[in-house]
């Protein structure tokens, strides 16, 4: 929502908004001269021409009710994002994970090539210092979140799908419904546009009807893809590889170096470079600019050191995200990897608690907290202990500790972490507070 506000302000609208508490994002908006009210009140909407709400806002919210009474036009966040993506050359990045990093990489490249894009990201791009940017160029780059199906409103010129895995089954009810939703997203690509797929993981169904006048590019580590990588190496929190682009039965090879580790980041970068190649940008220049990418906040972000232990913060909350994050950590560890994991949402844990088997195997110590509900009501029997019991049942043999309260986790770490440990804090909720507590003194 804050990203939408920044872009609408850039377009010349007078923008104000409300939230339940102060945050980094409300401060960013205030710096953009956007009025932010703390707390919800019918007075906040005043004589607005339109009200935009997020999926976190219920229909009985006092500002929504007041807007209806005043006959003010009401739009969802996805309504506005769909409009913005259609207003220029829209690039929408979808997938169960990797959306934020891939969107950020494309954004950095286009800024580096002086294309002045409009950017709407779910996380904060380090080089931008924000999650949004209004640009006067021809491109709008945005994440397309599948959580509630609203991404099917988008009609982008470029559609990217990084992966499709079980998630948000509280909404979709089945994995088949989720996959079909992504197929519909692909079909919504504008005529003459581009579809970029992870060829290693995303397979179109046999009955998929070829899109009229839409080009499909596949990327991945498999050399059968249109855009792929060879000689992948990791060292000192960086990655390097040789990019291979297939052009008219010829191979173009380009050296790529990333200032972020992990196979998942190599794949994210391949997606970004495939987009650049597909829309006709100079791929060699794109690769050069990508070398300046230093990551996104809460994506394997090194927050600092405490008594010789390195403290990292990561947004990983889905089983696959946890696994690849720990793989990246393992390649860089000196002594032990101490993982802290906060399960995100009761419904997700209920649906996926038995999918975490093998995900934490590279941890030397695993600490599990209680669930961050993210607005959901608790489900009886669905706590962090459910995950612990599932891991033990799956044969997990490393040291595992269940500490429900974050404050107690901080105290445990201060007493038990050692020099040269890598402390990896993971989760999409407020678990990031632990990194702040550890680095206070």
Lookup: tokens for 236: 């000192």
352 contacts: CB under 8 Å, gap ≥ 6: 166, 167, 318, 319
Q: Are 30 and 50 in contact (CB under 8 A)?
A: no
Q: In angstroms, rounded to a whole number, what is the distance separating the alpha carbons of residues 338 and 358? A: 16
Residue with tokens 């380090």: 126
Residue 24 backbone dihedrals phi, psi, to 5 degrees: -60, -40
Asked if 190 is an active-site residue, the reply is no
Q: In angstroms, rounded to a whole number, what is the distance separating the alpha carbons of residues 384 and 371? A: 6
Catalytic residue among 143, 146, 165, 301: 143
Lookup: tokens for 176: 């088949």
Catalytic residue among 26, 96, 100, 102: 100
Lookup: tokens for 242: 């040789």
Q: How far is CA 438 from the centre of its chain?
A: 25
Query: What SS3 string covers 200-265?
Result: CCCCCCCCCCCCCCCEEEEEECCCCCCEEEEEEEEECCEEEEEEEEEECCEEEEEEEEECCCCHHH
Asked if 436 is an active-site residue, the reply is no
Residue with tokens 């919504």: 188
Catalytic residue among 9, 26, 63, 99: 99
Asked if 143 is an active-site residue, the reply is yes
Residue 134 backbone dihedrals phi, psi, to 5 degrees: -95, 125
The strand ranges marked E within 22-180 are: 35-38, 50-53, 73-76, 89-94, 118-125, 130-133, 139-143, 158-161
Active site residues: 99-100, 143
């Amino acid at each position: 929502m804050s990203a939408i506000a920044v872009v609408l302000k850039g377009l010349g609208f007078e923008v104000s908004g409300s939230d339940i508490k102060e945050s980094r994002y409300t401060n960013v908006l205030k710096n953009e001269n956007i009025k932010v009210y703390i707390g919800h009140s019918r007075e906040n909407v005043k004589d607005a021409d339109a009200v935009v709400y997020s999926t976190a806002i219920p229909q009985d919210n006092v500002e929504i009710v007041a807007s209806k009474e005043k006959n003010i036009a009401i739009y969802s966040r996805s309504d506005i994002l769909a409009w913005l993506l259609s207003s220029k050359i829209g690039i929408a990045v979808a997938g169960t994970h990797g959306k934020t990093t891939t969107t950020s990489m494309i954004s950095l490249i286009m800024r580096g090539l002086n294309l002045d894009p409009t950017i709407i990201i779910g996380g904060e791009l380090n080089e931008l210092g924000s999650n949004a940017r209004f640009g006067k160029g021809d491109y709008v780059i945005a994440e397309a979140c599948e959580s509630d199906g609203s991404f099917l409103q988008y009609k982008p010129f470029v559609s990217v799908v990084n992966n499709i895995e079980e998630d948000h089954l509280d909404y979709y009810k089945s994995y088949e419904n989720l996959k079909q939703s992504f197929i519909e997203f692909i079909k919504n690509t504008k005529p003459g546009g581009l579809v970029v797929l992870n060829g290693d993981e995303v397979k179109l169904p046999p009955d998929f009807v070829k899109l009229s006048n839409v080009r499909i590019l596949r990327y991945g580590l498999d050399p059968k893809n249109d855009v792929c990588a060879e000689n992948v190496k990791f060292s000192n929190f960086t990655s390097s590889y040789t990019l291979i682009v297939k052009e008219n039965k010829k191979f173009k090879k380009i050296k790529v170096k990333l200032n972020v580790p992990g196979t998942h980041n190599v794949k994210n970068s391949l997606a970004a470079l495939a987009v650049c190649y597909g829309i006709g940008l100079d791929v060699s220049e794109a690769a050069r600019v990508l070398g300046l990418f230093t990551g996104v906040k809460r994506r394997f972000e090194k927050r600092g050191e405490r008594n010789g232990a390195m403290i990292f913060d990561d947004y990983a909350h889905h089983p696959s995200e946890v696994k690849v994050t720990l793989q990246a950590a393992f390649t860089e560890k000196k002594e032990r990897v101490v993982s802290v994991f906060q399960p995100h949402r009761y419904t997700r844990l209920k649906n996926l608690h038995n999918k975490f088997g093998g995900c934490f195997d590279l941890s030397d110590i695993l600490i599990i907290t209680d669930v961050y509900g993210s607005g959901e009501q608790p489900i009886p029997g669905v706590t962090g202990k459910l995950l612990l019991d599932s891991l033990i049942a799956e044969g997990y043999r490393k040291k595992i500790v269940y500490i429900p309260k974050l404050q107690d986790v901080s105290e445990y770490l201060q007493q038990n972490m050692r020099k040269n440990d890598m402390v990896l804090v993971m989760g999409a909720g407020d678990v990031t507070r632990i990194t702040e507590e550890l680095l206070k003194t």
